[in-house]
């Protein structure tokens, strides 16, 4: 492990990092929090929120300056995701997908022409989406049925994608399709699709349990015409783009779960100090104090795992196992902490009058998207059993 990683506690932030986190958190409190309940009810993101995210530079955090981005490191993206999630998981995942999946893939796999064309748009004005999942291709990510046909001067995509985050708002889509199903994973190729391309349309929007203001949609490709130059990486090498990008994306989901857990915890602590029973606040009872202490410990442990994986990524140290551990533990911890905060609120916790029920609903997706908990366990086990 590098000296940079060993020099200080992993959750200790530099002045620059703390200022950035606090700035994002203040923005979330002032500009997002007043709208969270209504956005959840309407299952719609207020259009001014993405605009403000772009204005603050949060949609291209580690995009190089030469392409119009903020030129920060991956860890800063993690801090933004966590800070936003303490207020709203939906806004957090919009920033998460944009930074850890979409722009990340363009930075790592795009040729110079692709980078010059799309990174400035993604950093400053256009939302991106990552389209891998299909109805029959979830944990078995490469059992794709969406096909790409070489038509000489262009490609044609035919098929469907499911559960695509940011789908309604996005204008640039990173789509994985196979050029030949018989080739298995070696046929998978990553295509850059614009919303305006002929043969492309948005299908149904999912009605979800949590992160409801985040759009999750079906994408339909009916002979969608894609320019020959709009391949990210190489033909037949899309599986590498998908795998390596998702490994980094899982750190982002871990950060989202830490933020959700922290938001619920903060609300719970506040409530226990205000709620009185038997003539004193319930926070004064040792039984409540011990439960809060356990929850705080779980959040800090999850944060350590997430920050460790993110700093390893920035340091160029292999981080696959650590990313899987971070996502696995943080998503489990978020569910446990949010559930406990509902318990501590009593009947109020089960109502929409207090925010903890939404944190609880938002936390559930963490064990599912960008690799289920079972897939994370499988990854970790490979390292544990490795000779």
Please, what is the Cα angle at 23 between 17 and 28, to 5 degrees?
125
Q: Which of 374, 382, 129, 81 has the alpha carbon at shortest distance from 255?
A: 81
Identified catalytic residue from 156, 218, 357, 370: 370
Work out the number of other CB atoms within 10 angstroms of the CB of residue 162.
20
Q: Is residue 370 flagged as an active site residue?
A: yes
| Distance from C-alpha of 269 to C-alpha of 204, rounded to nearest angstrom | 39
Q: Hey, which bits of the chain come out as E strands?
A: 128-131, 147-150, 154-165, 172-178, 188-194, 200-205, 216-227, 231-232, 276-277, 280-281
Q: Helix (H, G, I), strand (E, B), or coil: what is residue 207?
A: coil
Instruction: Specify burial of residue 30 (Cβ count, 10 A radius: 0-12, 13-18, 19+).
Output: exposed
Beta-strand relationship, 280-281 and 276-277: antiparallel
Catalytic positions, please?
370
């Amino acid at each position: 492990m590098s000296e940079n990683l060993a020099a200080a506690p992993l959750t200790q932030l530099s002045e620059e990092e703390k200022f950035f986190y606090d700035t994002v958190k203040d923005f979330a409190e002032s500009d997002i929090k007043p709208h969270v309940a209504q956005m959840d009810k309407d299952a719609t993101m207020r259009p001014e929120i993405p605009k403000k995210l772009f204005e603050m530079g949060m949609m291209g955090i580690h995009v190089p300056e030469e392409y119009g981005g903020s030129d920060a490191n991956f860890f800063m993206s993690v801090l933004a995701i966590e800070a936003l999630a303490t207020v709203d998981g939906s806004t957090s995942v919009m920033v998460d997908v944009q930074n850890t999946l979409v722009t990340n893939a363009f930075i790592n796999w795009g040729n110079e022409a692709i980078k010059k064309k799309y990174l400035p748009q993604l950093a400053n004005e256009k939302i991106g989406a990552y389209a891998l999942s299909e109805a029959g291709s979830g944990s078995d990510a490469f059992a794709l049925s969406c096909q790409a046909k070489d038509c000489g001067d262009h490609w044609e995509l035919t098929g469907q994608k499911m559960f695509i985050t940011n789908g309604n708002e996005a204008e640039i889509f990173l789509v994985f399709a196979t050029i030949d199903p018989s080739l298995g994973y070696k046929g998978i190729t990553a295509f850059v699709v614009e919303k305006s391309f002929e043969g492309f349309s948005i299908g149904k929007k999912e009605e979800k349990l949590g992160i409801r203001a985040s759009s999750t949609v079906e994408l339909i490709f009916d002979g969608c015409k894609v320019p020959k130059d709009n391949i990210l990486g190489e033909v037949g090498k899309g599986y590498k783009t998908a795998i390596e990008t998702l490994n980094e994306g899982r750190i982002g989901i871990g950060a989202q779960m830490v933020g959700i857990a922290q938001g619920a915890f903060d609300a719970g602590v506040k409530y226990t100090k205000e709620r009185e029973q038997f003539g004193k606040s319930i926070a004064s009872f040792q039984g409540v104090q011990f439960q809060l202490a356990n929850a705080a410990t779980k959040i800090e442990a999850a944060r350590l795992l997430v920050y460790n994986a993110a700093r390893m990524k920035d340091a160029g140290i292999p981080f696959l196992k650590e990313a899987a551990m971070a996502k696995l533990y943080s998503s489990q911890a978020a569910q446990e902490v949010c559930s406990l905060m509902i318990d501590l609120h009593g009947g109020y916790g089960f109502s929409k009058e207090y925010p903890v029920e939404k944190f609880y609903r938002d936390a559930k997706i963490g064990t599912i998207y960008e690799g289920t908990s079972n897939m994370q366990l499988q990854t970790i086990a490979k390292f544990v059993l490795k000779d």
